[in-house]
Structure formats: structure tokens, C-alpha cells
Amino acid sequence: MIEQTDSGAAAAYDVRPISAEEHTRFLADQALSSFLQNPRWPEVKREWESQSLGLFDPSAPADASPVAAALVLFRRLPIPAAVPVLGGKGLAYMAEGPVMKSGTADLHRILPPLIEHLKSSGAFLVRVGLPGVLRRWEAKEVRRALAAGENTSISELTPLDTGVPGSVAAGSSTVGSTQTETWQQQLSELGFQPPAPSTDFEAGQPQFQARIPLTDEQGESLPIDEVLARMDQSSRRQTKKSTRSELSIRVGDESDLPAWQKLYTETAERDGFTGRPLSYFQNMHRELNASPLSQCTLYLAHFEDQLLAAAIYVRQGEFAWYVYGASSGEERKRYAPRALQLRQIEDSLEAGCHWYDLGGLSPSLDPEYPLAGLTRFKTTMGADVVQTLGEWDYPVNPLLAKAFSVYMARR
């Protein structure tokens, strides 16, 4: 059983399954919840099993709403259920979760009962990736350090001080650094293992992420010119050229996804990565748009009848994400991908989002490192670098958890 430490003698929360409707109602009031916690997400990740779990105050009335909720994805070991010990065992994974109401963020009350419930469901390892930011570095400082090549890691740079006590997210209700540091301590106390330092992308959600702030320190939306001013000179110039490149930008629907897939496959072959199948994007577009919490948009950039670039964008609460992009090798001087980035930023501002997320990057500042180009691109777009808590593991069965870690490292 997970070891609990004294936390003001407060009783642990009760855990029980909740319906997708109850889960959705809870998340509707949580502006920071990620689409990875959306109860429609399991219909995209169909190779996983899932549960929506609510955590309830045991002293509250029976019909009270949850104080926290978690979408848990299960990946079973590829072993028949009848096999002793291993049958039915699996990884329980909470990406960007659990999601908690303000004032209920004591992990000593939340995680032990969650662990016990997941253990009874066959989890040999529980992985949590709590939403929160430990540190944040300004885009221009990171790209300057990357160009200089005098540091080995972003962690060596001085992080931003926004002047907002306990927060590294000016103008946003993003979980601040004081709360996140408390969670870091509580996770250690409860026996969770932190993510190992790495310059590569970890399995799951990367610990270092690129985010463009869209609000000022008072939480007011920035003018588009101020957001674009965060870019370096080259990115601003290319973005302006894209607006004069005779491109037509439109929002696609599900019938446009085969065209997206063709361009995406071309991009994967050119850039040397393994792409996802068309069915994945069809499910993603359909399911996230079926939720009242989220929006999934396909943007297409054409020159005359030729599709030059496409992007898949997701919005939920205060966040907008550039999730996938694809581009043609033709007509590159028209800067079609830049035009789509501009459109996504404009739409994020119009929706009142606080952040436009460009996804993960490596913390390495070695200019010759294979992933340095990604860091360079995202910071020249004006994205600050944030360090999240990362994903922490609780080994319910330490032997199986160790074997799983070895398998993942070799894969």
C-alpha cells in the first residue's frame, strides 16, 4: 500500500467511477484542463482501456460534485488474462491529470486512494503528469543561448521572474511554481519516482514545452502585433511575406482529412518520422468536436489548387495547441506554414486563450544536437520554454515496473 504522511490529519478522498457526462461537467469549470483529460479522448486512443474517476470529499453530501477527476488510460500487458500474476496487469496513465479544483490540491488526500483503486484494477505501474509549471525561460534568452553555444542545458539559464508571487505564468491562472514545488515534494514523500533527466523526448508528454503567452500580467489579451514582436526578425519577415503570397487559408472538415493525410505522409517521409494513420485523425477530429469542452480544427493553405500546408489545432479552456503540421516541398517561398501559424495565433487570441502551445522540445543548448533545430524554430516563433513537473511513476509492482522500464528504454 502507498505510504502516506501526515497532512493535517485530513481524510483521504473517496474514489469512484463517474460517467462521461459528470466528468465533462466537472471539467467545464476547470479552465486549465488539457484535452488529454477530456473524456472523449479514449475514443482517439482506442488501443487503451479507460476509466473516468471522481474524487469526493467523504464529509460532503452524497450528491456533491467531485473535488477532482482523472481520466485514466490503461495499457494491458500483451498476455492472456488467465496467466498467473501477469494476466490482466497493465500501466495506468494520467496525462495532465488528475485535474483538481482550487483549494483541493493536497496530493496526500488524492493519490493514495487513487493508487489503491488502480491497483485493484490491475495496475502494476501508475504514471501521473500533473499540470503545472516549475520554471519558465523567455524565448529570446533561450535562442540567444542556443546560438552562443556556451551552455549545455536550458536549466543553466536564469528563469523569468514575472513579479507575481508563486507564479511563472503571467496573466494566467496556470498552476504557479509554489504549488508545483509543493506537489514535487509530496510526490517524493508518497514514493513516486521523478522523470530521469534526458535531452531526448520522453515517452508521454515532454517535460520541457514551448508556449507562446497570449496575455499580459493582468490577464488581458495581447494585441496581435505584440505577439508577433516576440518572434525573431527572420520569423516576422517570413510571416509577413506569407500574408502577401496569394495563399488561400480555410478551415477544413472531415472530408478534407484524406488530403491532409497525403501531405502528412509526404512530410513524414521527408523528415524521417513515423506518422499516424488516417483513422487516428478522423477519430480525433470527430471526438474532440463532439465534446462541449474542446474544438479540433483542420487548417489548409492552398496556392491556386495546390495544397501547400496543413495543420491540426486543438483548443480547450485557456489553452490552444498546435498539435500536428504538414507541408509540401513545393512553393516554399510562399511560407504557407507561417501563414497557418499566424491564423492559429489569431484564432487563439480571438477565443481568449492564455497560451498557444507548440509542444515539446529538448532542454539541450548544444547547437549541434539533433533536436536543436526544433528548439530554434519554436523559440524564434516567440515561444517561451516552460519546465513542467514531468511524468512521475509509482511502481505498484516494482519488479514488473522495472522490467517495463527496461523494455521501454530498449524500444
pLDDT tens digits along 128-168: 999 889 999 999 999 999 999 999 999 999 999 644 333 34
pLDDT: is 197 or 349 the higher one? 349
Q: Average per-residue pLDDT in the chain?
A: 91
Is residue 6 predicted with pLDDT exceeding 80? Answer: no
Neighbours of 150 (CB within 10 A): 10
> 376 lies in a domain?
no
> 121 lies in a domain?
yes
Sign of torsion, CA 367 372 375 377? Answer: positive
Check residue 88 and give its pLDDT. 83
Please compute the mean of the pLDDT values over residues 88-108 and round it to a whole number: 91
Is residue 56 predicted with pLDDT exceeding 50? Answer: yes
pLDDT: is 401 or 333 the higher one? 333
Are residues 304 and 403 located together in one domain of the fold?
no
> 152 lies in a domain?
no
> 119 lies in a domain?
yes
Alpha-carbon distance of 6 to 12, in angstroms, equals 11
Are residues 237 and 335 located together in one domain of the fold?
yes
Alpha-carbon distance of 170 to 307, in angstroms, equals 38
pLDDT: is 263 or 169 the higher one? 263
Is residue 275 predicted with pLDDT exceeding 50? Answer: yes
Question: Count of residues for the chain?
Answer: 411
| Residues 175, 133 contacting (CB under 8 angstroms) | yes
363: pLDDT confidence band, cut at 50, 70 and 90?
A: very high
- Structural domain boundaries enclosing 96: 14-130+390-410
Check residue 79 and give its pLDDT. 79
Is residue 54 predicted with pLDDT exceeding 90? Answer: yes
CATH number at residue 90: 3.40.630.30
> 317 lies in a domain?
yes
Alpha-carbon distance of 381 to 383, in angstroms, equals 6
Alpha-carbon distance of 178 to 158, in angstroms, equals 17
Is residue 170 predicted with pLDDT exceeding 70? Answer: no
Which of the listed residues 326, 353, 380 is the one where a domain comes to its end?
A: 353
SS3 44: coil
Are residues 247 and 307 located together in one domain of the fold?
yes
Is residue 197 predicted with pLDDT exceeding 90? Answer: no
Are residues 38 and 114 located together in one domain of the fold?
yes
Which of the listed residues 336, 353, 370 is the one where a domain comes to its end?
A: 353
pLDDT tens digits along 382-403: 999 999 999 999 999 998 888 8
Cell 483548443 belongs to 315
Alpha-carbon distance of 297 to 369, in angstroms, equals 33
Nearest CA to 5 out of 107, 103, 98 is that of 107
Alpha-carbon distance of 224 to 78, in angstroms, equals 50
Check residue 401 and give its pLDDT. 86
The number of helices, as runs of H, and strands, as runs of E, in the chain is 11, 15
Cell 467531485 belongs to 66
> 172 lies in a domain?
no
Alpha-carbon distance of 337 to 224, in angstroms, equals 18
Are residues 400 and 325 located together in one domain of the fold?
no
Is residue 218 predicted with pLDDT exceeding 80? Answer: yes
Q: In this predicted structure, which of 140-144, 215-219, 267-271, 379-383 has the lowest mean pLDDT?
A: 215-219
Largest CA distance in the chain: 67
Which of the listed residues 331, 353, 375 is the one where a domain comes to its end?
A: 353
Are residues 309 and 402 located together in one domain of the fold?
no
Are residues 228 and 347 located together in one domain of the fold?
yes
Alpha-carbon distance of 336 to 340, in angstroms, equals 6
* Residue percentage of the chain with pLDDT more than 90: 80
Check residue 9 and give its pLDDT. 57
Please compute the mean of the pLDDT values over residues 110-132 and round it to a whole number: 95
Please compute the mean of the pLDDT values over residues 235-246 and round it to a whole number: 97
Please compute the mean of the pLDDT values over residues 232-238 and round it to a whole number: 97
E strands, 14-96, where? 14-17, 49-56, 68-76, 90-95
Task: Give the count of domains, the chain.
Answer: 2
Look up residue 307 and give its three cell numbers.
495544397
Are residues 124 and 21 located together in one domain of the fold?
yes
Check residue 314 and give its pLDDT. 98
Are residues 338 and 400 located together in one domain of the fold?
no
Check residue 176 and give its pLDDT. 63
The identity of residue 179, as a single letter, is Q
pLDDT tens digits along 279-329: 999 999 999 999 999 999 999 999 999 999 999 999 999 999 999 999 999
> 215 lies in a domain?
no
Nearest CA to 67 out of 127, 18, 34, 116 is that of 18
Are residues 231 and 115 located together in one domain of the fold?
no
DSSP string, 13-24: PEEEE--HHHHH
Are residues 231 and 117 located together in one domain of the fold?
no
> 406 lies in a domain?
yes
Check residue 410 and give its pLDDT. 66
The identity of residue 167, as a single letter, is S
